[in-house]
Amino acid sequence: MKEKKLTYFLFCFLVALSTFVSAQSKFKKDLYAKGNSSFGEKDYFSAAQYFNQLILLDSTQLIYMYKYAEASRLNYDLEIAYHWYDKVMKEDNGKMYPETPLWMGTILKSQGKYKDAKKYFEKYAKKNKTNKDKYKQQLATKAIREAEACDLSLILLANPLNVKIEHLDSNVNSRVSEYAAFEMDTVLFFSSLRNTNSSKRDKNNITFNKLYTSKKLNEHWDKAKALDSLFNASNIHNANTSFNEDFTKIFVSRCNALTTVDYSCQIYFSQYIDGKWTVLKPLPPPINIFQSNNTQPNCSKLNGKDVLFFSSTRKGGEGGFDIWYSTFDNDLNFSTPVNAGKKINSAEDEITPWYVKENKTLHFSSTWHKGMGGFDIFKSEFKDGAFTEPVNEGYPVNSSYNDIYYSVNAKKNKAYISSNRIGSYFEEKQSCCNDIYRFDIEPLLVDSPPPPIKVDTVKVIMDQLKILCPLTLYFHNDEPDKKTLAITTTKNYKKTYEDYIALKPKYFQEYTGGLDSTDLTLAENRLTNFFEDSVDAGMHDLDKFARLMEDVLARGEKVKITMKGYCSPLASTDYNVNLAKRRISSLRNYFMEYKDGMFKKYVNLEDSTKNYLLLTDVEIGELPKSNVSDDVKDVKNSVYSPYAARERKIQIIAVSSFADIK
């Protein structure tokens, strides 16, 4: 009887368990479908909520982690996105989800972590630059540019512009977005999403952009006021104010929301006739055309003619939003719009154009050109009928966040930008929203503008050398030259690197032996990443360092390189000191043998004061105490683990010109 009851109990339990598992499986499928549907509709906030619920139910599924990371990234919850991308990367290492390192690099770059970001961009580019898929090829090209942009960003940070960025106060900026500022006399025109009157919201509780003004009294801005209904139409976004030269014509954008992130925009105009502004009307073709976004108008003069610059998704561009321009007469007859060209426009978005006729310079924002993160502001001169290669406006005009809507005031002595950089006001999450900033510029309304700044080529190259430091190089255990107390070697670092790479199969065999499938995958990923991101990257950076040094020495600059050696704790300190010296000796050999000894002519062995190249080292030895095994019998952890391998290194810790150190 007892056995029958027990059997019956187990049967009921299994039925209940099966029902529960089946119900949970159906619930997860339902959540997954809703998440994908929201993602497809570009409702990334809702998608993130669904995928978060899935992770709470089952945190082992990579697909849930990746989808949650993707939705969070596109919803600008970057900390959350990075956390889950990182988890995916550790398990998958870019196999099933190859874009993971690209997005991790993008997030790190937006946080100003340029050296870490560069590693992920290079990892993605290396694996995808020969991919037959055109989209992945484009992403690989983007990753290569982003890696170069990380180097540029470090140079821009080290050489800031002499400008003070002023954050306008809360009479202008609010906890939502403000942008597209233009100052005329003492009046500031701008756009904002602010709306404290609930009656102005639509039935879906949506707040619309409106045009605002704020007047400056005694160097302070008064409380912003919305323009009247002539300029601010109901149930549509109103934005981007631009006037012609005599302020008799005004151009604005009006946009309908298609999704939470997509809009359909047209450019409208009004004229000042008989003391009042006419009703705004959409510009006819060829400006507004069917099935394309046309937005962000900027009116200026080009070759003496009135011209309208704008951003558009029309056919015939390079991709995404492009910058276009069209000349027009007093009756608003527009010429066929001209694309600003391949130097300006790219496969991604170029937006918020602002042309300054006084110096024939177009300012615009882009995510493609080499910037500090997100949208950066660039400038290009109109010369011989075309725009020149864009130049980054520099730091602190640009930041690792979005920097857009560059404009110059009517007096031509101040510039305005919009940015969601740290310090901007926000309602729910930091850096969600753009605020308006301004700074002084060289006055443009003068008889003789200042001469252009001459580029110091040597300094540019020295800056590129400096951002490579600390440059870290790695060695196999007890290399070069095993079991010796010698402090020099005849080996060149490149040879020790090649010998090290040849040992990769041995590392995988020793470090992963005996592991089960899950631990085996993680261990293989750790080793793969160590060799790719540390050993190979170090050799790549050393070759780049040598090429730059070749260039700067040829220009007559005197260079000092400072090196430092480290060792893992596998031998005595005395032995390690000599080993570190041998490792530095191998790096000296690399420099002295580079391109058949071309650097030798810059080294004066008899009189060091006449050196053009000085190689020095500082105190060397063992790293601070670590948890890495120092058991010679435990070769798996003391020799072949990536944790031990990271401690067997030397670094170029500094590079300087002799002028820097006098």
**585 and 543 fall within a common domain:** yes
* Domain termination residue (choose one: 418, 453, 488): 453
* HEC assignment per residue over 409-454: CCCCCEEEEEECCCCCCCCCCCCCCCEEEEEECCCCCCCCCCCCCC
pLDDT number for residue 619: 78
Has residue 556 been placed in a domain? yes
- 656 found inside a domain: yes
pLDDT tens digits, 428-463? 777 778 999 999 999 987 766 666 667 788 899 999
Mean pLDDT for the chain?
Answer: 90
344 and 416 share one domain: yes
State the total domains in the chain: 4
> Is 18 in the same domain as 134?
no
Phi, psi angles (nearest 5°) of residue 76: 65, 25
pLDDT band at residue 1 under the 50/70/90 scheme: low
Q: Which two tokens stand for residue 537?
A: 């990257």
Tokens 């970057």 belong to residue: 78
| pLDDT score at 658 | 67
Question: Does one domain contain both 396 and 527?
Answer: no
Same domain, 382 and 398: yes
**Nearest partner of 511 among 526, 498, 496, judged by Cα:** 526
Shared domain for 519 and 447, answered yes or no, is no
In a domain, 109, yes or no: no
pTM: 0.88
> Which stretch of 3-7, 44-48, 343-347 has the lowest confidence by average pLDDT?
3-7
Do 511 and 424 fall within a single domain? no
Asked whether the predicted pLDDT for residue 628 surpasses 80, the reply is no
Do 188 and 148 share a structural domain?
no
Least confident among 152-156, 190-194, 398-402, 415-419? 190-194
Range from 17-21, 335-339, 479-483 carrying the lowest mean pLDDT:
17-21
Instruction: For residues 468 and 537, state if they share a domain.
Output: yes
Q: Are residues 386 and 498 in the same domain?
A: no
Q: If you average pLDDT over residues 225-254, what whole number do you get?
A: 93
Joined together, the tokens standing for residue 467 give 């951002």
Mean pLDDT of 7-36: 71
Type of residue numbered 224: A
The answer to whether residues 473 and 567 touch, using CB atoms and an 8 Å cutoff, is no
Residues 192 and 144 occupy one common structural domain: no
The string over 85-122, giving b where at least 16 C-beta atoms fall within 10 Å of a residue's C-beta and e elsewhere, is bebbbebbbbeebbbbbbbbbbbbbbbbebeebbbbbb
Cα distances (angstroms) measured from residue 173 to each of 222, 240, 352, 374: 11, 16, 19, 21
CATH number at residue 33: 1.25.40.10
The answer, yes or no, to whether residue 412 has pLDDT greater than 80, is yes
Do the Cβ atoms of 361 and 340 come closer than 8 Å?
A: no
Q: What percent of the chain has pLDDT above 90?
A: 74
Establish if 108 belongs to a structural domain: no
As a whole number, mean pLDDT of residues 558-580 equals 83
Q: Say yes or no to pLDDT of 125 above 70.
A: yes
Say what the pLDDT of residue 429 is.
Answer: 72
Q: Is the pLDDT of residue 60 over 60?
A: yes
Confirm whether 648 is domain-assigned. yes
For residues 168 and 141, what is the distance between their CA atoms, to the nearest angstrom?
Answer: 38
pLDDT attached to residue 198: 41
Report d(CA 458, CA 423) in Å as an integer. 35
Nearest to 124 by CA among 108, 92, 100: 100
pLDDT over threshold 80, residue 411: yes
Last residue within a domain, chosen from 453, 471, 502: 453
User: For residue 79, what are the domain limits?
Assistant: 2-97
How buried is residue 609: exposed, middle or buried, by Cβ count under 10 Å (0-12/13-18/19+)?
exposed
Res 563 pLDDT > 80: yes
Q: Which of 526, 659, 547 is nearest to 594 (CA)?
A: 547
| The pLDDT of residue 238 is above 60 | yes
What is the rounded distance in angstroms from the CA atom of residue 402 to the CA atom of residue 333?
Answer: 35
Task: Tell me how far apart the alpha carbons of residues 17 and 112 are, in angstroms, rounded to a whole number.
Answer: 50
The predicted model gives 45-64 an average pLDDT of 93
* Residue 343, pLDDT score: 97
Q: Annotate 541-564 with b (16+ C-beta within 10 A) or e (fewer).
A: bbeebbebbeebbeeebbbbbbbb
Residue 106 lies in a domain: no
pLDDT single digits (tens) 530-558: 999 999 999 999 999 999 999 999 998 99
Residue 365 and residue 387 in one domain: yes
pLDDT tens digits along 488-501: 999 999 999 999 99
Which of 356-365, 472-481, 485-494, 614-623 is least confident? 614-623
The predicted model gives 563-574 an average pLDDT of 75
Domain boundary among 453, 486, 520: 453
What element of type H or E holds 649? strand 649-657
Question: What is the CATH number for 281?
Answer: 2.115.10.20
**What pLDDT, on the 0 to 100 scale, is given for residue 17?**
52
Q: Does residue 336 form part of some domain?
A: yes
**What stretch of H or E contains 472?**
strand 471-474
Each residue's pLDDT tens digit, 158-212: 999 999 999 999 999 999 999 999 999 889 999 998 865 543 444 445 678 999 9
**Can you give the pLDDT at residue 400?**
96
| Averaged pLDDT, 636-655 | 92
Average pLDDT value for residue range 26-35 = 90
pLDDT of residue 203: 46
pLDDT digits 0-9 by tens, 247-286: 999 999 999 988 777 889 999 999 999 999 999 999 999 9
| 639 lies in some domain | yes
Q: Which two tokens stand for residue 333?
A: 């007859």
Pairwise pLDDT comparison (12 vs 97), residue with the higher score:
97
